[in-house]
Amino acid sequence: MNEAVSAKVPMIVVEGLRKSIRNGPRTVDILKGLDFSIPQGQFAAIMGASGSGKSTLLGLLAGLDTPSSGNVHLNGTAISYLPEDKLAQVRGKTIGFVFQSYQLIPTLTALENVLLPYELNADAQDSDAGMARARELLTNVGLGDRLDHYPVQLSGGEQQRVALARAFILRPPIVLADEPTGNLDTTNGAHVLELLLNLNRTEGTTLVLVTHDPVLATYANRRIVLRDGLIVSDEINANPTADAQQTAAVAR
Ligand SMILES: Nc1ncnc2c1ncn2[C@@H]1O[C@H](COP(=O)(O)OP(=O)(O)OP(=O)(O)O)[C@@H](O)[C@H]1O
Ligand SMILES: [Mg+2]
């Protein structure tokens, strides 16, 4: 393994990870044996064609799905076969997840959606602090004037930004995001990226991002490419692009 990778404490360790799904008489092998580790504070981009297994991998990293074999360790805990209550605890403390399909609660406003993980967390009961953080995060993603809007009253890109703010509310050490800028215009995409980079730099958040966007991937310290359920390339980017506002400036 590259020394730059092995030098730091691994935050995510993936061992022999396989996922197959029974589809009638046939078995579909979606992930065919993945091994890698992601050190604390790394920003890794997962790339690969549609159907290569990226979302499946992210779901397994988050413990939202169980592998057919192999395991995922998050911050030293093997999570793949934990009982649901234990898993929920680890997940709540460790992970912020941004789904490809946002998964906002339709009956809650933008602000309430962002606050939800906070309210469900037993360790975070200062509601004024939670509210202030939720407002700040929504303002950071450019939605300070949409706090009381329900998901149906928001565009796809706005919903995506709410989902991103929600993933950050508990300051998780790991943020997993599936195409977080997929539906955003260049300016808003740059804002979201800036937010991710800031968290990565100031709070040491470990970031794993699925993206099709080769420009976004230039900001990452590492690029892992999947093809047909296998890693076909895993490269360190020693000189990641530093400033997401450059992209916004080019767009203006
Ligand atoms: N429940 C399922 N049953 C059968 N096949 C599935 C199931 N879930 C996923 N697959 C298949 O597994 C493969 C990987 O799916 P996955 O969603 O991980 O791809 P992806 O790389 O995220 O693609 P995209 O870029 O389009 O989001 C696809 O071929 C998909 O059809
Ligand atoms: Mg996907």
Kindly report the CATH number assigned to the domain that includes residue 213: 3.40.50.300
Average of per-residue pLDDT across 37-58:
96
Beta partners for residue 28, in sequence order: 21
Residue 56 CA to ligand 2 center (angstroms) comes to: 7
Q: What domain count does the chain have? A: 1
Two tokens at 139?
Answer: 């303002």
Q: Please provide the size of the chain in residues.
A: 252
- Look at residue 248 in the predicted model and tell me its pLDDT: 47
**Cα 44 → chain centroid:** 10
For residue 180, the enclosing domain spans 3-251
Q: What is the pTM of this model?
A: 0.88
Q: Which ligand is nearest to the CA of 52?
A: 1
Helix (H) or strand (E) holding 231: strand 230-236
Percentage of the chain surpassing pLDDT 90? Answer: 63
54 lines ligand 1 (CB under 6 A): yes
Q: Which ligand is nearest to the CA of 53?
A: 1
Ion ligand 2, residues whose Cβ is below 5 A away:
55
Nearest atom within ligand 1 for CA of residue 179? 27
Q: Which ligand is nearest to the CA of 49?
A: 1
23 lines ligand 1 (CB under 6 A): yes
Beta partners for residue 202, in sequence order: none
- pLDDT tens-digit profile of 141-188? 889 999 999 999 999 889 989 999 999 999 899 999 998 888 778 887
How many other CB atoms are there within 10 angstroms of residue 59's CB atom? 18
Where does the chain show beta strands of DSSP type E?
Answer: 10-23, 26-39, 43-47, 69-74, 77-78, 95-98, 174-178, 206-210, 222-227, 230-236
Say if residue 6's pLDDT is above 80: no
217 lines ligand 1 (CB under 6 A): no
Residues 6+ apart with CB under 8 A from 113: 104, 105, 151, 162, 163, 166
- Look at residue 8 in the predicted model and tell me its pLDDT: 64
